[in-house]
């Protein structure tokens, strides 16, 4: 079975993670797919496949004879899909031999994926694409990664069983995780039980991507306490919390937002706001690749808070910040052979590596700080989290070959 065939099967499972839930996994529907993946792992020969009480799927392929002392390599992908758009009743469609034209996803709703907005489409002329029907996301993030790992595992086990085929490999550890899309994918990951010396998350985009740098990240929640007075008697008395919230935001650098930044440039991102005269709330995420600049961004929020409290009275503004994850480069710089291994594997499969920073985070970032060095690899998909999501079938096949090459290279 090819990887894309598995993907088509996996996206039939609704696995949208739920940020409002306090359970793990956040949605019981994730467990349904987890149990199905355990059964499939057992069918392909992963004898120790199992799902734990928190919905994490684990399994392993033993080292081949003579390679028992090689370092154990981990392969990780997540099962959930983003709550940004519906992941229910996904109706994927295969476009064979793509001709380079705009793609009508849903004629009735007028949903068109055009090459002006998405110029990378033209890189896939003559190849086969899996797209949505314009009403849901696709779920290639990260069920394409799950499918590629599963397919590679099946082919490795089959080759191991045939005398003289393939080359030696150390132990291969496999994990499929819940709740990555809501930032909890590594919360209950059992690194010791997993058993790998290092790992790769297969959770990236365009074929060839290798990512070992990501943002340092924090959330910042601002609460503003106002003083509501009848408008007719408000002079020199009213403190309008909504206006104070606007003042708070106006004190941040206007160009340091996602709409005006790229590459290594950090930002403040206002994710949500609400309020009236009495109370107002601002929710931010704070991002920067540089730890020094990240700390300065947090310090700026603290200075604004202190200034407004001095101006309007202590307790007017309350700031709560919480770090989310850190740049995994700090943990990988001493283990760059892991990245080099992926670079070499891609080139051996005629794929030019694209090394770039992640303008976000992955489970691999947190796992790296938990003692499991873990860069991120491509899946072959684009436009994640929305109706324009698509993945190239041939890219998925290439990723299967790259994974097999990575695990069979000498440590």
pLDDT digits (tens, 9 = 90+) for 328-359: 999 999 999 999 999 999 999 999 999 988 88
Count H helices and E strands in the chain, helices first. Answer: 10, 18
Structure confidence at residue 317 as a pLDDT band (50, 70, 90): very high
CA distance 345 to 228: 64
User: 325: which strand partners?
Assistant: 217
Segment among 27-36, 39-48, 159-168, 211-220 with least mean pLDDT:
159-168
Q: Which helix (H) or strand (E) holds 253?
A: none
Structure confidence at residue 163 as a pLDDT band (50, 70, 90): low
Residue spans of the domains in the chain: they are 3-213+328-408, 216-325
pLDDT computed for residue 323 by the predictor: 93
pLDDT computed for residue 358 by the predictor: 87
**Mean pLDDT of all residues belonging to the chain:** 95
Structure confidence at residue 361 as a pLDDT band (50, 70, 90): confident
CATH architecture under which domain 216-325 falls: 2-Layer Sandwich (3.30)
- 120-128 long-range contacts, CB within 8 A, separation 24+: 120/206, 120/382, 124/98, 124/392, 125/98, 125/99, 125/100, 126/97, 126/98, 127/97, 127/98, 127/392, 127/393, 127/394, 127/395, 128/4, 128/94, 128/95, 128/96, 128/97, 128/98, 128/392, 128/393, 128/394
CA distance 8 to 103: 19
Confidence (pTM): 0.89
The three-class DSSP label of residue 301 is helix
- CATH number for the segment(s) 3-213+328-408: 3.40.630.10
Which tokens belong to 374? 């873990």
pLDDT at 164 over 90: no
Kindly give, in sequence order, each residue whose CB lies less than 8 Å from that of residue 205, ignoring residues fewer than 6 positions away. 378, 379, 380, 381, 382, 384
Q: What torsion do the CA atoms of 207, 115, 85, 40 make, to the nearest 10 degrees?
A: -30
Q: Is the peptide bond before 142 cis (omega within 30 degrees of 0)?
A: yes
CA distance 106 to 6: 24
Active site residues: 80, 180
pLDDT computed for residue 254 by the predictor: 97
Q: Do domains 3-213+328-408 and 216-325 have the same CATH topology?
A: no
pLDDT computed for residue 54 by the predictor: 97
pLDDT computed for residue 162 by the predictor: 86
pLDDT at 166 over 60: no
């Amino acid at each position: 079975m090819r990887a894309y065939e598995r993907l088509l099967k996996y996206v039939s499972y609704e696995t949208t993670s739920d940020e409002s839930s306090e359970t793990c996994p956040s949605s019981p529907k994730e467990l349904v797919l987890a149990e199905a993946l355990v059964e499939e792992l057992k069918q392909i020969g992963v004898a120790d496949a199992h799902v734990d009480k928190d919905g994490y799927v684990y399994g392993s392929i033993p080292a081949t004879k003579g390679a028992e002392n090689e370092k154990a390599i981990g392969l990780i992908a997540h099962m959930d899909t983003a709550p940004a758009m519906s992941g229910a009743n996904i109706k994927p469609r295969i476009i064979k031999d793509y001709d380079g034209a705009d793609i009508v996803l849903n004629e009735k709703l007028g949903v068109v994926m055009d090459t002006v907005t998405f110029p990378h489409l033209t890189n896939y002329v003559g190849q086969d694409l899996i797209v949505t029907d314009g009403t849901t996301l696709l779920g290639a993030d990260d069920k394409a990664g799950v499918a590629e790992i599963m397919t590679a595992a099946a082919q490795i086990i089959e080759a191991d069983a045939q005398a003289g085929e393939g080359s030696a490999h150390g132990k291969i550890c496999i994990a499929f995780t819940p709740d990555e899309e809501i930032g909890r994918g590594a919360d209950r990951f059992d690194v010791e039980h997993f058993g790998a010396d290092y790992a790769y998350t297969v959770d990236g985009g365009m074929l060839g991507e290798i990512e070992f740098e990501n943002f340092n990240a924090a959330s910042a929640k601002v609460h503003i306490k106002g003083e509501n007075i009848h408008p007719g008697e408000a002079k020199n008395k009213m403190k309008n919390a909504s206006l104070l919230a606007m003042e708070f935001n106006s004190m941040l650098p206007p160009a340091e937002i996602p709409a005006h930044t790229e590459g290594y440039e950090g930002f403040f991102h206002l994710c949500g706001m609400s309020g009236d005269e009495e109370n107002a709330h601002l929710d931010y995420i704070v991002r920067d690749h540089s730890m020094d600049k990240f700390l300065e961004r947090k310090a700026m929020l603290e200075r604004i808070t202190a200034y407004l409290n001095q101006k309007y009275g202590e307790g007017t503004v309350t700031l709560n910040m919480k770090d989310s994850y850190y740049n995994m480069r700090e943990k990988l710089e001493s283990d760059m052979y892991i990245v080099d291994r992926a670079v070499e594997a891609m080139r051996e499969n005629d794929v030019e590596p694209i090394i770039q920073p992640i303008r976000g985070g992955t489970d691999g970032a947190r796992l790296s700080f938990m003692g499991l060095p873990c860069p991120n690899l491509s899946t072959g998909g684009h436009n994640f989290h929305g109706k324009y999501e698509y993945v190239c079938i041939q890219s998925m096949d290439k990723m299967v070959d790259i994974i097999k090459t990575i695990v069979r290279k000498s440590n």
